Amino acid sequence: MTEREDEHIILDNEDESEFLLDFTTSSAIGRINYKSFILYIIIFWLGGFGSSILFLLYLSLFNQILLTILLFPLVFALMYLTFIPGVAFISKLFLILINLIHKPKEGIFLAEKGDKDYEFWCLRIAVKKIVVWITNNFPLPWIDILAFRWFGVKIDFTSHLQDAWCDVEFISFGRKVMVGQGAVIMSSMIVGKYLIIKKVILDDYVVVGGQSTIAPGTIIGKDSVIGALSTTKYLQYLKRNWIYFGIPAIKLKPNKFSEERKDIIKKVEVDEVRKFKVKHDVNIDEDKKDYV
């Protein structure tokens, strides 16, 4: 991986006030418009068919009231486990349809109604967000990894998101990446009137400290660490084997405790065994020497 030069945002109108309006990110969209609400109803309705069939079978098989009450918690858990894959499957179908109409791409777009890139970005985020939210609140910690992989995020089960939020597109994880609690990894960001989408890459053995923010376009090299409460800049490249800290993150010191060192081989001689006799003087009182 080589260091790259920062790209610059070239805009026709360089009025700074355009960048000071309504700062938000794709990971913290609090406004759900009626289109997203209707979409969620459709996804829940279609995704819940499996759970509905299971509930009807349960009612038809057990007519006794006492047995029905006793088995209801188990059936409810099975319905919930059936509901999650159903919602994920329907969401994936919607996402495939959306991507066929308008293919996702990186770039800088106007964050306003009527802009196709912005509108379809909102749809993609709405479809993916509901499944990720459900899996993030599931008791088994690896379920959210399945959800991210289902939607195309490059991540394996050696990496961990410790109650952190990660965007659901244009994200690539290496092996054994750990993201601390409360951290946010953003491949997309709305700043003022503009939507910025740029791929984020976290190489092998990267550690992102808690409450840190990774901006769009960030590349973190292998064996690098970004400390807690730190922030990267747009398109920032963090070199491998370094510890970064600050707002924005700057080099703190080399990382001497990286996990993998393939260039170091430790040779141990096991065929020859050497014994050494060392004579030590022991201070003993004269009247005690007979006891030794």
The 10s digit of each residue's pLDDT in 31-82 is: 445 667 788 899 999 999 888 888 888 777 766 666 667 777 888 888 888 8
Percent of all residues in the chain with a pLDDT value above 70, rounded to a whole number: 74
Q: Is the pLDDT of residue 167 over 50?
A: yes
Ramachandran angles phi, psi of 221, nearest 5°:
-70, 165
pLDDT at 278 over 60: no
> What pLDDT is stored for residue 200 in this prediction?
97
Q: Burial of 282 by CB count in 10 Å (0-12 exposed, 13-18 middle, 19+ buried)?
A: exposed
Given a cut of 50, is residue 4 above it in pLDDT?
no
The structure tokens 């609090």 sit at 30
> Which among 246, 267, 264 is positioned nearest to 256, based on CA atoms?
264
Count the neighbouring beta carbons within 10 Å of the beta carbon of residue 142: 10
pLDDT band at 267 (very low <50, low <70, confident <90, very high): very low
pLDDT of the residue at 77: 86
- Across 254-280, average pLDDT: 56
Architecture of the domain defined by 16-257: 3 Solenoid (2.160)
pLDDT at 130: 86
Residue 28 confidence class, pLDDT cut points 50, 70, 90: very low
Does 244 or 9 have the greater pLDDT score?
244
Residue 10 has pLDDT above 50, yes or no: no
The pLDDT value recorded for residue 53 is: 85
Residue 116 contacts by C-beta under 8 Å, 6 or more apart in sequence? Answer: 102
Answer whether 35's CB lies under 8 Å from 56's CB: no
